[in-house]
Amino acid sequence: MIDYEKKGFYNSHTLFTNDFSNISNSNNKHIYSQIMFGNMHSPMMDYLLNLNRQNLNDFKSILFFNETNLASQINEAKIAEEILNSETIILKKAAKKIKPNFSTVVENRHSSRNFVKEELDQLTFSTILKYSFGLSNRKLIYGDIVATTRHYSSGGGLYPVDIYIYSNNVSGLTKGLYKYQPYSHSIYPINLEDMNENAFFIGDSIDVGNMNFCVFFEYSINKNYIKYGELSLLNSLVEIGGISHNFDLVCASLNYTSCPIAGFNKIEIEKHLSLDGVNDHIVFTNVCGKEY
Ligand SMILES: Cc1cc2nc3c(=O)[nH]c(=O)nc-3n(C[C@H](O)[C@H](O)[C@H](O)COP(=O)(O)O)c2cc1C
């Protein structure tokens, strides 16, 4: 146990108590001090204390990937993950340009949780998806391997995050869950059965009834663990932060608003998507609508 007291980690907001058996009136202040005393276990603390401790096997895997350019080969095959059949909805060609200048977009971006009931047209929907989650025009050429890139950065170029959309009020789309397919710029229906969208988020601060759509970010461990080992989760969460912020900016540039949401109901959403919750996890969400 690290001697945090001597290291000066405590601050004036921390309530100390040695009575760690009194759990009936515990709150995060109590829990925090018990974690610091080593009386209580925190998986988050374990994770932070071990962060970036790299083992020999991590170096072996990372070097193996870098030297063999395996990520580019995986990248080239990724197109085969997409389903193209009569159910696939190929989205309209996205707008070539987004007009507002970048500083205006950054100034305008803000979170909003209340929306007006207004249908989102297909072209705007397609443009939001393309610039937030889609492929960019830039290609990386390594001899006879051609790797694609996206509008966001990705640890090792492995793209371990998949995007699911719940369409609530988008022109021409049945309400329900779809998977975004970046190579064909299409969406594929996953579950169009009636479901209680109010159960997606915890509490009632998000106006799900009037949103246009929401986004579920899925991380699949197998997509980057084989390279990064225990560093994979950190990489993926950082990557999702980047993607989600990209989405916020694109929505703002098209006069829509968004709200990143950590208060989501993981098990409920994974159930509707038929994800196993073992290898495949919903780890973050976002929502888009016309601000009220
Ligand atoms: C990681 C993260 C998690 C968030 N989770 C929630 C949430 O669960 N519910 C919510 O209403 N807003 C959530 N937000 C939005 C923040 O409340 C919002 O970004 C913050 O108040 C700053 O306001 P602004 O985005 O308008 O600048 C989250 C934002 C981030 C970056």
Range of the domain at 31: 1-49
Residues 72 and 99 both lie in one domain: yes
Residues in the chain: 292
122 in the same domain as 76: yes
Indicate which atom in ligand 1 lies nearest the CA of residue 201: 8
Cα separation, 156 vs 75, whole angstroms: 11
User: 121 burial class (0-12, 13-18, 19+ CB within 10 angstroms)?
Assistant: middle
**Centroid of ligand 1 to alpha carbon of 259 (angstroms):** 6
Are 119 and 84 in the same domain?
yes
The per-residue pLDDT for range 136-191, each reduced to its tens digit, is: 999 999 999 999 999 999 999 999 999 999 999 999 999 999 999 999 999 999 99
**How far is ligand 1, taken at its centre, from the CA of residue 178, in Å?**
24
For 101, the enclosing helix (H) or strand (E) is: none
What would the mean pLDDT of 257-281 be, rounded to a whole number? 98
CB 114 within 8 A of CB 292: yes
For 198-224, write each residue's pLDDT tens digit: 999 999 999 999 999 999 999 999 999
How many domains, the chain? 2
Residues 139, 271, single domain; the answer is yes
**Together in a domain, 91 and 122:** yes
Same-domain status, 68 and 34: no
Q: Is the CB of 261 under 6 A from ligand 1?
A: yes
Residues 18 and 66 reside in one and the same domain: no
Q: Are residues 13 and 69 in the same domain?
A: no
Q: What per-residue confidence (pLDDT) applies to 53?
A: 79
Does ligand 1 have an atom closer than 6 angstroms to the CB of 205? yes
Q: Which CATH number does the domain housing residue 66 bear?
A: 3.40.109.10
Shared domain for 113 and 223, answered yes or no, is yes
pLDDT tens for 89-136 read 999 999 999 999 999 999 999 999 999 999 999 999 999 999 999 999
29 lines ligand 1 (CB under 6 A): no
For residues 41 and 124, state if they share a domain. Answer: no
For residues 28 and 162, membership in a common domain is answered with no
Instruction: Answer with the one of 49, 70, 86 that is the final residue of a domain.
Output: 49
260 lines ligand 1 (CB under 6 A): yes
Q: Are residues 169 and 45 in the same domain?
A: no
Angstrom CA distances, 278 to 109, 172, 272, 290, stand at: 34, 34, 15, 35
